[in-house]
Structure 1
Amino acid sequence: MAIYDRIESLIKDRKMTKKQFCLDLSISTGNLGDWKRGKSTPSTNKLIEIAAYFNVSLDWLLTRQEVRQPSMVMEHQASYGRSIGEILMEYGYPLDHSEATFIQEYLEFIKHRRQKENRGD
């Protein structure tokens, strides 16, 4: 199964349109068509976004592994044993793609800042 086929199956599983998928991830419908025809493939960054959007592993999109696995972001456990996703759902606040991306970027910023502080920069 090709990368495009996996993406298409995820779109169908979510019962969404290809147009909505493209809008949510800022992908032109022309690019999606090129992926389908094999004229091009998604960039690494776009594949990471797609995997996070559908909560599947990047490996699942790239390989012939037939079992979908949740992304590492959602598997990351808080210090007291619950995932960030579970905590947010408890408060009735599921994240959309842009919010999840923002939180991930913020966590990366904090990590970078702490590494810099530890080096004494």
Structure 2
Amino acid sequence: MFYDVYCQLCRSRGLTPSGAASRIGFNRASVTQWKNSGNPPKQELLLKIASFFNVSVDYLLTGREQAEPDRAVELDGLEFALFGEVRDMTEAQKRDVLKFAQFIKEKGE
């Protein structure tokens, strides 16, 4: 199931499965392994792939989205910008951003 969903997402973006692998940042041989074994990747890679295609991990694994609870998530401009930028940061950079935000918050109190 995962391999089929992955290939469909690749096609929808005009990418080959190997091309998407390169853009996401993992070994293209993994794609062949998924095809041959039928097993999905590990959680960390599932999260990267889901983020790249802007879908949930549930969708990657089942081809369906899970029902969301009735709640709206509203982000202001700054929150939205930070959310998008964090995707491309290293873990060290994320820690630095968090420390800086905590510093600014404490400074304002």
Instruction: Report TM bin, short chain.
Output: 0.5 to 0.7
- Give CA-to-partner distance per residue, 1:19-76, whole Å, 9 cap, x none: 3212112222221101011264211010000011011112211234258x9xxxxx76
Question: Can you list the C-alpha shifts for 1:64-114, whole angstroms capped at 9, x where unaligned?
Answer: 4258x9xxxxx762268x8439xx8xxxxxx7xxx7321887456544x34
Counterpart residue identity of residue 23, structure 1? S
Whether the 8 Å CA contact 1:76–1:84 is kept in 2: the answer is no
Gapped runs of 5+ residues in structure 1? 70-74, 89-94
Does the aligned pair in 1 maintain the 2:2–2:61 contact within 8 Å? yes
Q: Which one of 80, 83, 87 corresponds to residue 100 of structure 1?
A: 87
**1:25 match:** 24
Note the aligned Cα RMSD (angstroms).
3.8
Output the amino acid matched with 2:8. S
Aligned counterparts of 1:105 and 1:63: Cα–Cα separation in 2:
33
Q: Is the 8 A contact 1:3 1:62 kept in 2?
A: yes
User: Could you say which residue in structure 1 is the equivalent of 2:2?
Assistant: 3
Q: Aligned letter for 2:17?
A: K
Distance 1:49 1:20, change over 3 A: same
1:42 match: secondary structure: coil
Counting matched residue pairs gives 97
Match of 1:52 in 2: 51
SS in 2 for 1:28: coil
Unpaired segments ≥5 residues, structure 2? none
For the structure 1 residues 55 and 9, does the alpha-carbon distance in structure 2 shift closer, same or farther, using more than 3 Å as the test?
same
Distance in 1 (alpha carbons) for counterparts of 2:49 and 2:80? 20
Change (3 A) 1:79 1:24: closer
Larger-gyration structure (1/2): 2
2:28 maps to a residue whose letter is T
8 Å contact 2:18–2:31 — kept in the other structure?
A: no
